[in-house]
Amino acid sequence: MTKNQQVAQSAQTSTTPSDPRRWAVLAICCVAAALLGIDTSVLNYAIPSLVTDLKPSGTEILWIADIYGFALGGLLVVMGNLGDRIGRKKLLLLGAGAFGVASVLTAYAASPEMLIGARALLGVAGATIMPSTLSIVRNVFTDPRERTTAVGISGGVGAGSFALGPVVGGALLDHFWWGSVFLINVPVLLAVVIAGAIVLPESRNPDPGRLDWISVPLSIAGLLGVIFAIKTAARDGVHEPSVWIAAAIGVGCLIVFLRRQTRIASPLLDIRLFRNPAFTGSISANLVAIFASASLSLAFSLYFQVVRGWSPLMAGLALLPGPLSAAFAAPLSSALVPRIGRAKVVALGLVLMSVSMVGLGLVTPDSSYWMLLPALIVNGAGITLTFTVTFDTAMASVPKEGAGAAAAISETAMELGGALGIAVLGSVLTGVYRNGLDLPAGVPAGAAQAARESVGGAVGPGAQLSGPMGRQVAETASQAFTHSMHVTTLAGAGLIAVAAVIAFCTLRGVPAVIDEPTDEKHGGKAEGKPGDVADGTDGARELVGS
């Protein structure tokens, strides 16, 4: 037996389908994934406190908010490939340890510059954890039916945990200083490292080939440039020179990077994966769904806290039924796949998301929360039905040896989709609000300018006017903001409805149970077992491969 075969055998026999450790592995990976999601959204609630404490400039506040996402999104592809090479368990444990250290540095940052540096380290560490969790779960669960459930739960927890940030942040900030929202990471990560060292099996690509060092900086510069351009355009507008410079550098590097990946023997990103319609269809459905719904959390955070005047904790609790319903809906997706097929389950999930966004788009300044609650629950269920199946389909369509790279592609698509969604639909939200704001005569110029900048400048503590005039401005701004929510959510609902049709068409031939692809079929066929349901057609269908 060759050395590579021995490595492959040891990596693949660490757990068996009957080994109860696999569920403990899933729990560890879910905790790590949830922590990343919470950390992404919790900063927004800590910014007012840390601004008072550290007194950063306007530019420094923007870097504090953005640097984590820049580092995370820019390094996912590289870190996913690195995990395939050195071992996903090793990379996850190293990343979790680094994330803990960076959390301490962030919590006790004594200056804006130190906080920016610590947040950058958090992003680097997060980029090692994110693809590792999904690829470890992919390797441990070898039974196709269990894998669908496990990969879906892991991906769903990661996606739904963003809504937990406001709850965790609000609860901590009500009693402690701003650094507590980061310091809470440390005991959780310590438990992940200890339990992971004992429970997690190691897995890696036994024959990854030589690392192409030229592709590494091309990948990082390309993704960083694109993400920076998107975020800056969303905040400052497309007229900023830095937007076009960053976009040109990013797109140029990505073009060179992708061309290089088709010409070298051991690419950092295997372009052949996209020849598989199951993989491409799943990634595309995720990207569109995240793009269309990314602005939803931002809009309703402002709605509950500014328009309704609720505390951050109350606003977070108001959104919590969404991820809670997502958790309960996860087993349903696994039960539906064998009965109606993957394409119909994904399409159903996207339709539920679209319908719920229409319902949420009917909100008014005085809407009862109980009117919104059913739409939040349906939205959470739709998210789970969608991402449970798409994550599993994308990961199952790729041999286990390339699981880290496939997970990195999936997570990168989610990051880009979210950034684009905030940039495009967030701009729609702001633009419609400003255009629809019809202030009464006699409002001072300064107050009018503040009201046009954001709804917070007209309503609540940020308002510059009081008395009858202040109430009139607040009412007008609230109406304009909810109108902008109507337009934005309806636009998102339309996009998701289109994605449902596309997902149904692209995933239609994917069998309910995807057998393990061989390395020779990397990016090619994924076969089902005889008798598997494939969207109402008896027998398994093969995917069109390369």
**pLDDT band (50, 70, 90) for residue 519:** low
- Using left for φ > 0, alpha for ψ between -120 and 50, and beta otherwise, residue 460 falls in left
pLDDT attached to residue 225: 85
Tokens 């996209």, residue located: 274
| 18-206+267-515 placed in CATH 1.20.1250.20 | yes
Mean pLDDT highest for which of 115-124, 327-336, 515-524?
Answer: 115-124
pLDDT attached to residue 347: 92
Please check the confidence at residue 350 and state whether its pLDDT lies above 90. yes
Please check the confidence at residue 65 and state whether its pLDDT lies above 80. no
Name the average pLDDT for the chain.
Answer: 78
**pLDDT band (50, 70, 90) for residue 352:** very high
Q: Which letter, b or e, does each residue of 295-312 get, where b requires 16 or more Cβ atoms within 10 Å of its Cβ?
A: bbbbbbbbbbbbbbebeb
**pLDDT band (50, 70, 90) for residue 234:** low
* pTM of the model as a whole: 0.77
Cα separations (Å) of 69 from 224, 263, 310?
Answer: 9, 30, 28
Tokens of 237: 């507008």
d(CA 521, CA 34): 33
Confirm if 326 and 156 have CB atoms less than 8 A apart.
Answer: yes
In three-state secondary structure terms, 398 is coil
Percentage of the chain modeled with pLDDT above 70: 85
In 3D, which of 315, 319, 414, 437 has the Cα closest to residue 375? 319
Neighbours of 429 (CB within 10 A): 24
Tokens of 504: 């149904």
Please check the confidence at residue 319 and state whether its pLDDT lies above 90. no
Interval 416-425: pLDDT, tens: 777 777 777 8
Interval 381-426: pLDDT, tens: 888 888 888 888 887 777 776 666 777 777 777 777 777 777 778 7
Interval 458-511: pLDDT, tens: 776 656 566 677 778 778 888 888 888 888 899 889 999 988 998 888 888 777
Bigger pLDDT: 309 vs 515 = 309
Task: Over range 13-29, report the average pLDDT.
Answer: 69
Confirm if 168 and 38 have CB atoms less than 8 A apart.
Answer: yes
**pLDDT band (50, 70, 90) for residue 175:** confident
d(CA 301, CA 299): 6
Interval 96-144: pLDDT, tens: 999 999 999 999 988 888 998 999 899 899 888 888 887 888 778 877 7
Provide φ and ψ at 528, rounded to 5°.
Answer: -105, 170
**pLDDT band (50, 70, 90) for residue 518:** low
Task: Among 50-54, 286-290, 540-544, name the one with the lowest average pLDDT.
Answer: 540-544
396: CB partners within 8 A, 6+ apart: 138, 144, 147, 148, 151, 514, 517, 526
Cα separations (Å) of 16 from 3, 12, 96, 137?
Answer: 22, 8, 26, 13
Interval 428-460: pLDDT, tens: 888 888 888 887 777 777 777 777 777 777 776
In three-state secondary structure terms, 540 is coil
Confirm if 22 and 140 have CB atoms less than 8 A apart.
Answer: yes
pLDDT attached to residue 19: 59
**pLDDT band (50, 70, 90) for residue 305:** confident
pLDDT attached to residue 460: 66
In three-state secondary structure terms, 537 is strand
